[in-house]
Amino acid sequence: MKEQNYRNFSIIAHIDHGKSTLADRILEITHAVDKREMKEQLLDNMDLERERGITIKLNAVRLNYNYNGDDYILNLIDTPGHVDFSYEVSRSLAACDGAVLVVDAAQGIEAQTLANLYLALEQDLTIIPVINKIDLPNANIPKVLNELEKVLGFKKEEVILCSGKTGEGVEELVKAIIERVPAPKNNIGAPTRALIFDSFFDSYRGVILLVKMVDGKIKVGDTIELLNSKSDFVVSSLGYNTPKTVDTNELVSGEVGFIAASIKDISTVSVGDTVTTLQNHSDIPLDGYKEMKPMVFSGIFPTEPNRYDELKEALEKLKLNDASLTYEPETSEALGFGFRIGFLGLLHMDIIMTRLEREFNLDIIATSPSVIYKAVLTDGSIVEIDSPNKMPDRTKIKYIEEPYIYTNIISPSVYIGSIMELCQNKRGIYVNTEYIDEERVNIHYNIPLSEIVYDFYDKLKSYTKGYASFDYELSKYLQSDLVKMDILLNGEIVDALSVIVHKDFAYSKGRTIVKKLRESIPRQMFQVPIQASIGTKVIARETLSAMRKNVLAKCYGGDVSRKRKLLEKQKEGKKRMKMVGSVEVPQEAFLAILKDE
Amino acid sequence: MNQSVYIHIPFCRKLCSYCDFCKMNYNSIFVSKYLGSLSAEIKDKYEGEEISTLYIGGGTPSCLSTSELEALCKIISTFKLKEDYEFTFECNIGDINSDLLMLLKNMGVNRLSIGVESFDSDNLELMNRYCTFEDAYSKIELCREMGFDNINIDLIYALPNEEFKTVKKDIELALKLKPDHISTYSLILEDNTLLKLKGYQSIDEELDYKMYNYIIRKLTEKGYVHYEISNFAKPGKESRHNLNCWDNNEYYGFGLGAAGYFEGVRYQNTRNLTKYLNGEYVLENELVTKESKMKYELMLGLRKLKGINIKEFHDKYNENIQNVFDLNALMKNKDLILKDNYLFINPKKIYLMNEILLKIL
């Protein structure tokens, strides 16, 4: 195969604009799978991805296509569509030379269309604009064409019209990919360098590296070196997905594929690292990725304290193909040993929690999510606070700053009023409103990140009947009147329940939390006051009445053994409780505080 | 050495909606076969010890016919009774008449346990039972006339939808019967009972607690000793048979679904009549280790308001109870009290006994 016949590309789109279906259709046209094998959304491997209809992890597939008598190899590298995963998008885009930008023929440009396009432009990729779902009865092709021209600056004749559902225009799209996306640079003679853009753990073959070959080649039997971790391994197998796994003897410059080299130690591999060979060594690492900074932090604890090691192992495995995941050990008086984990956003947090529970069978408790605050102290020094319990003494704080995000909220203009009301309630600072056309606007606000961490996205959907789309970028830190609010059970502060809140919202938030706790903690042998306080000042209180009855009214010779079994059963139930000071708190109580505000 | 015997008669004329004991509708053919099997089981297991307490319960033992009772009487005669024995027989109000009482007297019965449960028509309807105060009054008079001077009545409270005033009324009427012993049970909605299947819910625990406290106050005021969670007696009229169980001593259990405790093994008889009639009496055995025996000691012993004699505990197990179980926190909280060699639950917290046990076991 000639290197000029390789094409490495991604498909980028706003969520639900039909990216995965379009990818399926391309696979079908290139005969990678026949219709019989077709299962919806073939690239979405994880159950979780198919269930939620979103792509989380990347996947690379090699396709063959004959065009004008020449054989071409197309490497399709999938990207996630959600705002939380822009890091993953930039990872996959780094392995590409072109990107197909998909826009829904009925919806038009949405917030993540813009966000993903900007990421692709940062990588200097060739963009092929596509209007998808043209078969929809409510498709409005002229309007969307107009948006692509006016807002994004494409020429109308560049735009390809297609339908992933019917297959119309897909052939034309594949041809456009071959014609417009440049072939990867041919550096087969240069010292070997490959970029690790993903990795996963296989219990038989060890860590598998997904790479884009930039320079030189790698053969089975070569000794590879990971430049950053300075560790060597002998390549045991090489291959690519079509989407079936195909083994090969070598991977050369321009190709995308996987390397297995019996790598047992997960910690030696980091995504973004450069692979070279001892046979054809290079000392110069490729540009990695801009490291994504986690924005949301939460303490994660095993419900059963003795499963701390299992949790640790699980996090190591997740970290392997999710470099954005950061964590450090954390100890809580209430919850014992666990980890403080940094997430890219709330969806990311939700996905990680679900994966811990499903893939690793762990019962976990998560504490209320927090962002990174900056406290400027009276002596002029600055302290970063990613957990309420790291808040310095109030007397030492001059002021506190919190991170704000800059929003792209794209919505029909009729919802401007509702959106502004929502943003104001979330302490947003209005910037401006751009008109995309007569009916659609892009509303810009600066909003504290901590306010969108909870339910902003859900509220936005309900305020706009689902029509608004939302994306954000971190903008700046601004001074805020923030306080640490503690929760006390039976007079003792529960460290795991402390939160940092805006002073004006502390009262209502405190009331909500104590009420939820009262509803979710079972009665104890004594009356338990549940309080929210700022410093020594109690701002909300509920009282959990004392338990009145837990007794076997009847126990005679006839049922002694049975009554004992009943007690043992109750005892089992108690094991699922956490002893917080003198109070038994069920896992659900911690969850209740997190869920539905 | 076993000194107690329980015999189960699983037949009833009418089934109560709350009862999950081993029971079935009365059928004379089954009864006669059953008594044959019962006799065989006793011959099989009984080792000839002198018996100090005997208890015939059910079901409804009083629903048997005269000839059936005579046959039962013959079976009972196998047991060697101590001079000061206690022999209890469970009766339904409706079954009591002079013939029955005469027969029981001849059998050697010296204690009657009568199922009254409630006088309230709503409660009775819910339980599928029938009883009027007048009926109970005259029947108990009759028992006294026939020379029975140790009479217990059973009551149930905290039934679904029951109000506080109903309990008050029931207790006032029960006291007029001047029983020597009163057992009052807060209703347990057991699985596989009609009440549970119909979806009835327990009453609010605050109300249940209020009812319980009222009962304790009222009965103690009238000279009854609150000696076990649900049991009250005039001094000296405590149920010796049941105390034997709460003292964690061994006892024979004979009959369908009966349970016993013999030579370090707690056994449970089958509830399957066919198997029982075929001589397959025992369903399961539990070998009671020393550790497990000490747990039973606590679970049963603390039911008594008087509690556990810690010296006797030491003599029995050669261990100090406070070394075996971690009681410090509970004693510090005054959930448990140690006084004059007795370890007992704070009477104010006896209604939370399970909660306390869960912290120890």
pLDDT at B70 over 50: yes
- pLDDT on residue A594: 66
* A579 touches B at CB < 8 Å: no
- pLDDT on residue A57: 47
Contacts 24+ apart (CB under 8 A), B139-146: B139/B93, B139/B96, B139/B114, B140/B114, B140/B177, B140/B178, B140/B179, B142/B96, B142/B97, B142/B98, B142/B101, B143/B96, B143/B101, B143/B112, B143/B114, B146/B98, B146/B101, B146/B102, B146/B105
ipTM metric = 0.92
Instruction: Determine the 3-state secondary structure of B149 from DSSP.
Output: coil
pLDDT at A289 over 70: no
Q: Is A571–B353 a contact, with Cβ atoms under 8 angstroms apart?
A: no
Which whole number is the average pLDDT over A401-415? Answer: 92
Which residue on chain B is closest to A566 by alpha carbon?
A: B354
What's A95-121 look like in SS3? CCCEEEEEEECCCECCHHHHHHHHHHH
Specify which residues B171 forms β-bridges with.
none
A-chain CB neighbours of B357 within 8 Å are 567
Nearest to A564 among B21, B205, B296 (CB): B296
pLDDT at A38 over 60: no
Reported CATH class of domain B4-245: alpha beta
Specify which residues A443 forms β-bridges with.
A409, A433
User: Which chain B residues touch A if contact means CB-CB below 8 Å?
Assistant: 4, 6, 8, 21, 57, 185-188, 205-206, 208-209, 212, 229-230, 242, 245, 251, 253, 257-261, 266, 268, 286, 295-296, 299-300, 303, 335, 349-358, 361
Nearest to A548 among B205, B257, B353 (CB): B205
Task: Tell me the C-alpha distance between B139 and B148, whole Å.
Answer: 12
pLDDT at A83 over 70: no
Percent of chain B with pLDDT over 90: 98
CB B156 within 8 A of CB B185: yes
Which whole number is the average pLDDT over B263-274? Answer: 95
Q: What angle do the packed helices B353-360 and A560-575 form, to 10 degrees?
A: 70
Mean pLDDT of chain B: 96
- pLDDT on residue A54: 46
CB B360 within 8 A of CB B327: yes
pTM: 0.71
In Å, how far is A556's CA from the nearest CA of chain B?
7
Q: Is B355–A574 a contact, with Cβ atoms under 8 angstroms apart?
A: no
A35 pLDDT band (50/70/90 cuts)?
A: low
B-chain CB neighbours of A563 within 8 Å are 299
CB B262 within 8 A of CB B45: yes
Nearest to A552 among B21, B258, B354 (CB): B354
Nearest to A564 among B57, B299, B335 (CB): B299
Locate the domains of chain B by residue range: 4-245, 290-361
- pLDDT on residue A305: 81
In Å, how far is A530's CA from the nearest CA of chain B?
20
Percent of chain A with pLDDT over 70: 90
Which residue on chain A is closest to B287 by alpha carbon?
A: A561
pLDDT digits (tens, 9 = 90+) for A292-307: 678 889 999 988 888 9
B-chain CB neighbours of A549 within 8 Å are 186, 205, 208-209, 212, 351-352
Q: What stretch of H or E contains A420?
A: helix A416-425
Lowest mean pLDDT among A52-66, A355-369, B124-138, B261-275: A52-66
**Helical segments of A291-383, H only:** 308-320, 346-360
Mean pLDDT of chain A: 86
Half-sphere exposure of A183 (CA within 13 A, CB side): 12
Question: Where do we find the tokens 């869960």?
Answer: B358
pLDDT at A317 over 50: yes
In Å, how far is A582's CA from the nearest CA of chain B?
11
Specify which residues B339 forms β-bridges with.
B342
**CA quadruple A382, A500, A523, A366: dihedral positive or negative?**
negative
Task: Tell me the C-alpha distance between A164 and A170, whole Å.
Answer: 7
Tell me if the bond preceding A243 is cis, omega within 30° of 0: yes
- Of residues A279 and B310, which shows the higher confidence score? B310
Q: Is A567–B185 a contact, with Cβ atoms under 8 angstroms apart?
A: no
Q: Is B358–A571 a contact, with Cβ atoms under 8 angstroms apart?
A: yes
Q: Is B261–A560 a contact, with Cβ atoms under 8 angstroms apart?
A: yes
- pLDDT on residue A86: 58
A45 pLDDT band (50/70/90 cuts)?
A: low
pLDDT digits (tens, 9 = 90+) for B39-49: 999 999 999 99
A237 pLDDT band (50/70/90 cuts)?
A: very high
Q: Residues with Cβ < 8 Å from B333, sequence gap 6 or more? A: none
Which whole number is the average pLDDT over B178-196? Answer: 95
* A569 touches B at CB < 8 Å: no
B78 pLDDT band (50/70/90 cuts)?
A: very high
Nearest to A548 among B208, B230, B258 (CB): B208
- pLDDT on residue B74: 96
Which of B210, B213, B351, B359 is most worth mutating to test chain A (most A CB atoms within 10 A of its CB)? B351
Q: Is B351–A551 a contact, with Cβ atoms under 8 angstroms apart?
A: yes
- pLDDT on residue B198: 93
Percent of chain A with pLDDT over 90: 43
- pLDDT on residue A104: 94
- pLDDT on residue A255: 86
Task: Give the end-to-end CA distance of chain B in Å, rounded to a whole number.
Answer: 27
pLDDT at B267 over 80: yes
